Amino acid sequence: MSNNVTLNQFLIQQQRNVLEASGTFTLLLNTLATACKAIAHQVKQGDLIDVLGSAGSENVQGEVQKKLDVITHDIMVHALQSSGQVAGLASEEEEEFLTIPGEYPKGKYLVLFDPLDGSSNIDINMTVGTIFSILRAPESLEPSLGDFLRKGSEQVCAGFVLYGPATMMILTTGQGVNGFTLDQEIGEFMLTHPNIRIPEATQEFAINMSNQRFWEAPIKRYVDECVLGDTGPRGKNFNMRWIASMVAEVYRILTRGGIFMYPYDIRDPSKPGRLRLMYEANPMGFIVEQAGGLCSTGRARILELQPSELHQRVPVILGSKQEVERVESYFQSQG
Ligand code: AHG
Ligand code: MN
Ligand code: MN
């Protein structure tokens, strides 16, 4: 615990350093924190309030929606649309971006989010989370699709909230990464993990091994070498994890290092990857880079990709610098 600094105090302190700051950004983060506290409450009640299981519907990605995918989407949409701090929003669970209904004022930000990441884990009581990415709205406050399709390097802020044994918010505004833990007694996020740094070296990798036969050669080579351990070219043993919840994997990597990969695979050639660029790869990439790690497709830096669609998929390789660089070098030497 770092002198009992709340998320609010932390943001106000940061805002003092920005001359033209109007306070809207701090209010927006407050809106997001409150929405995520409401989500944490739903997630933690689980079967007591009948929120688990399938909603019986499909989202734009053709994935079966869980009840909590729908509930968390609704909480985020209502909180943001009524906040006065955003001019538009986009969610994993909604095909088109959303504007602000006439009865509410508009604000100068756009928010893109994955309301519930790792939702396949919800029925087995494992960690899930909410991921968000904040961009500047156009001056007119009338956003078009092009205003959302901005490179990850243009994000003003990115964060995620982890609904695990403790509820945590991990945040970057481009000045490093800070972690806050929800104090359930007082209902505030407290700064518990200031200036998070990812160790550059690691002996832990995360990938869904069941897709091995569909990977490209550089990924096969990298994982084969890890698995060979001290009998192979790496000369050291590796450990493996796969939680199937990106928020939990990224948090582990922020805590003790590691590499996470959801690479391109040939299962469905129409899909360039599993994860979505705008509300998964970009915000996580911003956070990981701000903590000293790297985030890549294997061939290019994620934050420099020019998006073409709201729900675009992308290969993701992120984590400890030395390991991501190694994977990139395997792609380069393959040509
Ligand atoms: P979502 O629940 O928002 O659809 O995202 C789940 C993602 C990500 O969190 C995780 O890393 C990956 O899907 C797991 O995929 P597999 O089930 O293919 O392992
Ligand atoms: Mn997700
Ligand atoms: Mn999701």
Single residue among 193, 214, 245 that ends a domain in this structure: 193
What b/e readout covers 234-243, taking b as 16+ CB neighbours within 10 angstroms?
Answer: beeebeeeeb
How far, in Å, is the centroid of ligand 3 from the Cα of 117?
4
For ligand 1, atom 7, name the residue with the nearest CA. Answer: 118
Residues 128 and 269 in one domain: no
Does the global pTM surpass 0.75?
A: yes
For ligand 1, atom 16, name the residue with the nearest CA. Answer: 244
Residue 271 pLDDT grade (very low, low, confident, very high; cuts 50, 70, 90)? confident
Largest CA distance in the chain: 66
How far, in Å, is the centroid of ligand 2 from the Cα of 60?
13
Single residue among 136, 166, 193 that ends a domain in this structure: 193
Residues 183 and 230 in one domain: no
pLDDT digits (tens, 9 = 90+) for 148-175: 999 999 999 999 999 999 999 999 999 9
Single residue among 149, 173, 193 that ends a domain in this structure: 193
Residues 52 and 109 in one domain: yes
Is residue 276 in contact with ligand 1, taking CB distance under 6 Å? no
Q: Which has the closest alpha carbon to 80: 97, 63, 57, 95?
A: 97
* Amino acid identity for residue 301 in this structure: R
Residues with CB under 5 A from ligand 3 (ion): 92, 114, 116-117
pLDDT digits (tens, 9 = 90+) for 19-63: 567 789 999 999 999 999 999 999 999 888 787 888 888 887 788
Choose the residue to mutate in 65, 91, 120 for probing ligand 1, maximizing ligand atoms within 8 Å of C-beta. Answer: 120
Strands 259-262 and 204-206 turn out to be parallel
Q: Which ligand is nearest to the CA of 120?
A: 1
Instruction: For residue 215, report the phi and psi dihedrals to the nearest 5 degrees.
Output: -75, 165
How far, in Å, is the centroid of ligand 2 from the Cα of 332?
29
Structure-token pair, residue 263: 């690479």
At 21 the pLDDT is 73
DSSP for 104-145, written as a single string: S---SEEEEEEEEETGGGGGGT--EEEEEEEEEPPTTS---H
Mean pLDDT of the chain: 95
Residues 178 and 230 in one domain: no
pLDDT digits (tens, 9 = 90+) for 240-262: 999 999 999 999 999 999 999 99
**86-91 average pLDDT score:** 98
Domain count, the chain: 2
Choose the residue to mutate in 70, 262, 264, 311 for probing ligand 1, maximizing ligand atoms within 8 Å of C-beta. Answer: 262
Residues 22 and 80 in one domain: yes
How far, in Å, is the centroid of ligand 2 from the Cα of 280?
6
